[in-house]
């Protein structure tokens, strides 16, 4: 039976070393948790982003760095609207960083007659017409103290606020809508769109429509399900790969730190391990003792790291100025993976020291004393 109590006693005898080793593990685990939480939050936001609350499919330029850099010709609308199974299609222009006081707010250029804007619930005012006008989400209005009849500056253009709306989607309630033609002028994309939202007819299956549109337009990416959202942008894939790389680095660096600590402990306690061997402890029992100490050390750090990671995810989003449309989502699976990595760090880091401890010769150690 593995003795946990003696292992804890051994760690308490060296509090400084145990603390520093646990701290290194905590930082690695915190980084993993924060990245996983932000990545999951970005995916959740992306699931809403690609559908914008009402569309069945979202069309984006294939291999764009991220959805906001996508460029599609507005002429696609004619073909799409004539395609069997498609009930409606409407173009959108996305403007990011053009509201200087709130750089995280997204401005959507949209056709006021399109099906997406039919879902806006106005708490005051009305839908914009043509020209230098805008409707503002209630969150953005509260942050910037905007009212109907006031002005919203977008890319140095002062737009008349004709209405305040609420839709229940964070990045839209924290943003604004302007006429499509105005957004095209601001972005310099005449007769172009960032994305085209598609609403399918009754009885049309999204999977079948996705396959058809992908074959018909090989230069576009069709997003039909939330799980497909991450493949629409290289940046989302980069975030996922970064989380994996950080996890591997944490495992390697944390494992080396634990190995160094445990190896020093084994060297200092050679007489103890020799005595245990002399009184009948087997090599397996000694190996178990050292590995348990390594795992307990990293578990202490992992528990602290989980807390730091949850807090760090919030701080990371704020530092990036993305809190308006990305909310970190800490899942039980993310916490479980981080905790598992902590255990692996302890096991990997303690393997070599445990092997060294099991090879201590009682006769040689006692002869040297």
Domain residue spans in the chain?
Answer: 4-45+236-368, 57-223
pLDDT at 229: 46
- Contact between 104 and 324 under an 8 Å Cβ cutoff? The reply is yes
- Contact between 149 and 107 under an 8 Å Cβ cutoff? The reply is no
Count CA atoms within 13 Å of residue 221 on its CB side.
21
* Euclidean distance between CA atoms 235 and 232, whole angstroms: 9
In the predicted model, residues of the chain with pLDDT beneath 50 are 1, 226-235
- Contact between 273 and 279 under an 8 Å Cβ cutoff? The reply is no
Q: By C-alpha distance, which of 117, 89, 230 is closest to 175?
A: 117
pLDDT at 227: 43
User: How confident is the model over 244-290, as pLDDT tens digits?
Assistant: 666 676 667 666 766 777 677 777 777 777 777 778 788 888 888 88
pLDDT at 358: 78
pLDDT at 232: 44
- Contact between 178 and 106 under an 8 Å Cβ cutoff? The reply is no
Dihedral over alpha carbons 228, 113, 194, 109 (to 10 degrees): -120
pTM for this prediction: 0.59
> Helix (H, G, I), strand (E, B), or coil: what is residue 1?
coil
268, burial (CB in 10 Å: exposed 0-12, middle 13-18, buried 19+)? exposed
* Euclidean distance between CA atoms 217 and 59, whole angstroms: 10
pLDDT at 176: 95
pLDDT at 66: 67
pLDDT at 37: 76
pLDDT at 222: 85
């Amino acid at each position: 039976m593995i003795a946990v109590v003696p292992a804890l006693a051994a760690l308490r005898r060296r509090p400084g070393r145990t603390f520093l080793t646990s701290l290194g593990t905590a930082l690695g685990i915190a980084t993993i948790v924060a990245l996983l939480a932000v990545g999951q939050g970005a995916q959740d936001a992306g699931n809403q982003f690609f559908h914008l609350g009402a569309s069945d499919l979202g069309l984006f330029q294939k291999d764009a760095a991220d959805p906001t850099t996508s460029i599609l010709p507005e002429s696609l609308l004619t073909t799409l609207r004539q395609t069997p199974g498609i009930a409606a299609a409407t173009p959108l222009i996305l403007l990011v960083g053009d509201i200087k006081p709130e750089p995280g707010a997204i401005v959507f250029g949209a056709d006021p007659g399109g099906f997406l804007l039919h879902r806006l619930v106005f708490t005051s005012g009305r839908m914009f017409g043509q020209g230098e006008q805008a409707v503002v989400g209630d969150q953005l209005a509260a942050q910037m103290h905007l009212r109907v009849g006031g002005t919203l500056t977008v890319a140095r253009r002062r737009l008349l606020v004709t209405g305040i709306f609420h839709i229940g989607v964070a990045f839209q309630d924290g943003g604004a809508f302007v006429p499509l033609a105005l957004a095209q002028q601001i972005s310099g994309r005449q007769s172009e769109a960032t994305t085209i939202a598609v609403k399918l007819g009754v009885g049309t299956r999204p999977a079948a429509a996705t396959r058809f549109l992908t074959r018909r337009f090989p230069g576009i990416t069709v997003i039909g399900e939330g799980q497909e959202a991450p493949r629409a942008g290289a940046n989302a894939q980069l975030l996922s790969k970064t989380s994996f790389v950080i996890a591997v680095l944490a495992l390697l660096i944390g494992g080396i730190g634990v190995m160094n600590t445990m190896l020093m402990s084994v060297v200092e306690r050679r007489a103890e391990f020799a005595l245990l061997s002399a009184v009948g402890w087997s090599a397996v029992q000694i190996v178990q003792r050292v590995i348990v100490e390594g795992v307990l050390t990293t578990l202490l750090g992992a528990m602290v790291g989980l807390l730091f990671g949850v807090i760090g995810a919030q701080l990371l989003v704020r530092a990036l100025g993305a809190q308006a449309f990305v909310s970190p989502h800490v899942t039980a699976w993310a916490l479980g993976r981080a905790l598992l990595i902590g255990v692996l760090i302890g096991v990997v880091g303690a393997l070599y020291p445990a092997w060294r401890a099991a090879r201590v010769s009682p006769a040689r150690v006692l002869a040297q004393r």
